Structure 1
C-alpha cells in the first residue's frame, strides 16, 4: 500500500493542505519542532483506517478552531488506485470510497490499512485490561471478518442487556434471550482469542529475542473471564443464567468477553513489575510490528506504518535492528526530534524528508 496524495481542509492545524508523494518516496522522515503538527499529520493518515483518531478525541475536536467542519481526502495505491474522502459537519460524517457514498463503516473496513506506533503503546503491555482488549479487538478484527462482526454484535447485545439490568424491574424472558445471544458470540470470540494469542505469543517471543538480543523468554497469556470445563455455547448460556442473580444485584453484566484480560510476561514474570522502561518500549514496538505483519499475512496488504517519535528510548543497537524490520514495508512515515536518529536511515534508497511550517508540508533535506 502506498499513499500517493493527501489533502485536508480545517483538520487540526491544517487549514488547506495538499501534498503528493512520488513512487520513490517510501521512507518518509518528518522533522519539525514540537507543536508544529507532526503528530497531527500522522493522525490524518491514520484516520482513514478506522474513520477516527488514534487519540482519545471526538471528530468535533479535530476541526480547526473557528471553523465548523473538516474535509479530508486520500489517494492510495493498493495494486490499483483508490480514493477515500471524509467530510464532517454538524456532527454528521459523509464518507465516499471510489466515488461511492458509504453508509456503513463495514463497507470500507480493511480497504485502507495503517498501523500507528505512539507513546501510548506502552499501555498495551502495562495498561489496564480495557486498553489491552481494545488493542487486540482492533488487531483481530482486521485479520478475521467473523471476529469483527462477532465483537460488534456482542457489544450491541451487551449494551441492551446492561440497560435491562440497570432498570431492576424487567422481563426475565428478555434477559434469557440476551444471554442466549451473548453465549453465541462469546463462544466464537473466546475461541478465536485463544487461537490468535497462541500464534501471537510465539511471534512476540521470537521477535523479542531477535531484536532485543536478550536471554529472556517473553510471552502473552490470555485470561478469559468465563472458565468452564467444556466450552460450548450451551454451557456458556447455562453459566450466564446461573449468574443472573448476581448481575441483577450489581445492575450490570459482570461476566463475558468484555471482562477478559491479557498479560505480558518476561521470564514468566509480569512485565509490570520486572521489565525496564526500555524493555517495555521494545515490547510495545514489537506488538505493533506483529500487528502489521499479520495484516500482510491475512489480508495481503502492506499497511502504511506511522511512527510517532517512538524509538528514542531504545539504545542505538536495538534502534538499528528495529528500523531494519520496518524497511520491509512499502511506505512508512516517522516523526523524529533528534538529529542523531537520521544516521539509522542512511541505507534506505527511498528516503524522503518533510517538515511542517505553519500548517503546510514541504520537502526538505536534513543531510
Structure 2
C-alpha cells in the first residue's frame, strides 16, 4: 500500500496543491511553522478521518474558508483507489472510488498509517489516557468491529454517566434504567477488553523481537494489560461481558455517590515490562525510548499481518529525538518495506547514508518545491492543479 498522489484544498496553510510521492521514502524539509507537520497531518486525516493534533475540525480549514478537501490516490495490491474527505460546517463527507460512504466506519481502513512523533516517545512514561488512545487509534484502523464497539461504548458511557449524576443529585430514581445502561455498557466493554488483549498479544510478539534486536539480546520486553475489572485473565469475551456487568452492579451505590462510571475499558491501562520490571517506574530514559520505538515499529508488522499490506509511516521530526543507534535501527527496519514520510528542518538533520534515493520536498510558508539532495529545484508544486482522479 502506498499513497501515489495527494491533493489539498484549503487545508491548514495550503490553498491548493497536488503532490506525487515516491513509494519509498519522502523527505519534507522546512523550518518550524512552514507546513511540514500540516502536510503529514493531512495524510493522517485522509486515513483516519480525524486529526492527531486537534479535536476541532474547524482548525483544519484554511482561515476565512468554509470547507477543506483532502484527496488521495492510494495503490492497494493491484488497484488504485481514489479517496476523498470533505471537511465543512456540516461535518465530514467521505468518498471511496467517488462513492459517498454512509458511515465513517465504512471509510476508515482504506488507507492505514502509523504516525511517530516526538510525543510518542513518552508513550511509556506518559498518561494512561495516552496509552488507551494509542490502542484505540491503531487498532481501530484495522478492526472495524473494534471501532464499532468503541463508538457504541462511548455513547452509552455518556448516557450512563449523565444518569448517574441525576441519581446522585436525586433528580432521578429509576434503577431499572440504570441496570439497562449497565447491561449495554458491559456488552460493548467486555468485547473491547477481549479485542484489546488479542491485539496487544500480537503487538507484543513483534515488539519483543525488535526490542531484543535493538538491545542486542540484553532485554526482554513484555506487556501487561491492567484493567479495573478483577480477574480478567484467561476469560472469553462472553465471560468478560458478564464479569463487567456483575462488577458494575456491585459498585452501583459507589458510582451513584461519585456520579461517574468506575469500571470499564475507559479506565484501563497498559504496562510495559523489561526483564520483568516496570519500565514506567524502573526504566532509564533510554530504555523507555527503546520500548516506545519497539512498540511503534511493531505496529508495522501487526498491520501487515492483519490487512495483508504494509501501512504508511509518518515520522514527524522524530529522528532528531533518537540517538545514532536507534536512528539506524529505525531506518534499516523501514528501508524498501514501508512508504515513509519524514520531516526535518534541513537535509543535514537526516541520516542520508541510511536513506537511498529519497524524494525531497522543500516547504516554505505553504509553498512546496521538489528538490534534489543538493537543494536544486526539480519541480514547483505551488500552482493550482486538477483534483486527483
- Identify which of 204, 215, 220 aligns with 2:218: 215
User: Which of 244, 259, 264 is the matching residue for 1:256?
Assistant: 264
User: TM-score, normalized by length of structure 2?
Assistant: 0.87
Question: Which of 271, 294, 298 is the aligned partner of 2:302?
Answer: 294
Runs of 4+ in 1 over 6 A off after TM superposition: none
Give me the whole-angstrom Cα distance separating, in 2, the residues matched to 1:223 and 1:86: 36
Deviations 1:166-190 (A, max 9, x none): 1112421111111112222233222
1:300-334 superposed Cα distances (whole Å, 9 cap, x missing partner)? 12211110111223222331122110114341111
Q: How far has the Cα of 1:347 moved from its partner? A: 5.2
Range with greater deviation from structure 2 (318-327 or 224-233): 224-233
Residues 154-303 of structure 1: pairs in structure 2 closer than 5 A: 154-168=153-167, 169-213=172-216, 215-228=218-231, 231=235, 232=239, 233-303=241-311
> 1:49 aligns to what?
47
Verify the 8 A CA contact 2:31 2:364 in the aligned structure 1: no
Please tell me whether residue 112 in structure 1 is matched to residue 111 in structure 2: yes
CA contact (8 A) 1:143 1:294 kept: no
Larger deviation, residues 42-51 vs 86-95:
86-95
Tell me the residue number matched to 1:312.
320
Q: Residues 223 and 300 (structure 1 numbering): CA distance in 2 closer, same or farther, change over 3 Å?
A: same
Q: Partner of 1:123 in structure 2? A: 122
The Cα of 1:243 is off from its aligned counterpart by 1.0
Structure 1: tracts of 5 or more residues without a match: none
Aligned length, in residue pairs: 364
| Partner Cα separation in structure 2 for residue 347 and residue 260 of structure 1 | 39
Q: 1:72 to 1:192 in 2, by over 3 A?
A: closer
Aligned pairs for 1:55-94 (under 5 A) are 55-79=53-77, 80-94=79-93
TM-score of the superposed pair, with normalisation by structure 1: 0.92
- Unaligned stretches of 5+ in structure 2? 375-389
Does the C-alpha gap of structure 1 residues 84 and 280 become closer, same or farther in structure 2, counting only changes over 3 Å? Answer: same
SS of equivalent residue, structure 2 residue 69? strand
Question: Contact 2:117–2:317 at 8 Å: present in 1 too?
Answer: yes
Residue in 2 that maps onto 1:15: 15
Change in CA separation of 1:363 and 1:187 when aligned onto 2, cut-off 3 Å: same
The residue that corresponds to 2:360 in the other structure is 353
